[in-house]
Amino acid sequence: MLVVLTGGTGGAKLIEGLAAEIDPAQLTVICNTADDAVFHGLYVSPDIDTITYTLAGLNDGERGWGILDDTFAVLGQLRRLGNDVWFNLGDNDFATHITRSRLMAEGLTLTQVTERIRAALGVKATVLPMTDERVETRVVTPEGELSFQEFFVKERWSRAVESVHLIGAERCKPAPGVLEAIRQSSAVVIAPSNPITSIGPILAVSEIRKALRHSVVNVVGVSPIIGRAAISGPAHKLMAAQGLEPTAFGVAESYRDLLNRFVIDSEDRVLRSRIEGLGIRVLETAIRMTCIADKRRLARQVLALLEK
């Protein structure tokens, strides 16, 4: 059993590769939920959805979110009716959020709903939220505090960032199945996801971090950063705001109590000895994934590293 901790975009690419290289039934994916938000009265869980759509072969790989070839008629009509529609939701994607919101209103937990949607879409891997409780990422800017989606999507991460904090993470319980999956895993992968707003919230659930710290299996991370910039999105900006060096070294450092192996880009070979100085074995390779061949090759390299 392989456990993967992930956000959406970068993590989904590696998970697509892993699911093609091993039996997906052997995969348990633990997803960040601190970006979850309510839009038009519907509960949206962007990272769970990106991972579930990816594993179902429905994802829009170009955009990195939503369902392939989706249309946006509902959003257009919502706009006509005077709604604020800065968060993009496709028509088929809406069906997921309607289903989730109805089931949650009937009393099901996020874990139970995620399981129903997974099964309905024929996904063989296990997909788990990090917690069933509400955790929220807040981004502090000079003009005030924003939710992660307001910062990332509405403001296109253009604002200066003073700090990032989480509401509700430390005292929340991991979702059912999360600790069991970690304890029963033969290896753990920390996906190339944003260390502050995707992996950060998962590791902020204190029992999850503790279980990983006590785990005796190999834990391999993949850098989402090349040089001093994220491959996409604002990870470098948020890391700098949190006092972390915005490089692959900074990512490794923030997971240093958990990792024993780390994959960095060949361009970052100058960082190798510093990362090894943290007691972490380093693999240099091409970490940018632009096609399925890249995803599968990197997945194979990660799997090989886990075995050694």
- Alpha-carbon gap, residue 99 to 43, rounded angstroms: 9
- Please report how close the Cβ of residue 50 comes to ligand GDP at its closest, in angstroms: 7
Residue 298 Cβ vs ligand GDP, minimum distance, rounded to whole Å: 7
Q: Which residues contact 88 (CB under 8 A, 6 or more apart)?
A: 65, 66, 72, 75, 153
CA 267 centroid distance within chain? 24
Binding status of residue 114 toward ligand GDP by CB under 6 A: no
Residues from 200 through 229 that contact ligand GDP (CB under 6 A): 222-224
Cα 211 to Cα 214: distance, rounded to the nearest angstrom: 5
Nearest to 50 by CA among 98, 84, 96: 96
**Judged by CB under 6 A, which stretch of 2-10, 75-83, 175-183, 213-221 contacts ligand GDP?**
2-10
CB of 119 to ligand GDP, least distance (A): 23
Sites for ligand GDP among residues 23-52 (CB under 6 A): 35, 47
Nearer to ligand GDP, 11 or 90 (CB): 11
Whole-number Å distance between alpha carbons of 250 and 61 = 28
DSSP designation for 211: H
Q: Which is nearer to ligand GDP, 185 or 301 (CB)?
A: 301
Among 90, 174, 233, 246, binds ligand GDP (CB under 6 A): 233
Instruction: Compose the 145-184 pattern: x for residues touching ligand GDP by CB under 6 A, - for all others.
Output: ----------------------------------------
Sign of CA dihedral 15, 20, 22, 25: positive
- The span from the first CA to the last CA of the chain, in angstroms, equals 16
Residues near ligand GDP (CB under 6 A): 6-11, 13, 35, 47, 192-194, 198, 222-224, 230-233, 235, 287-289
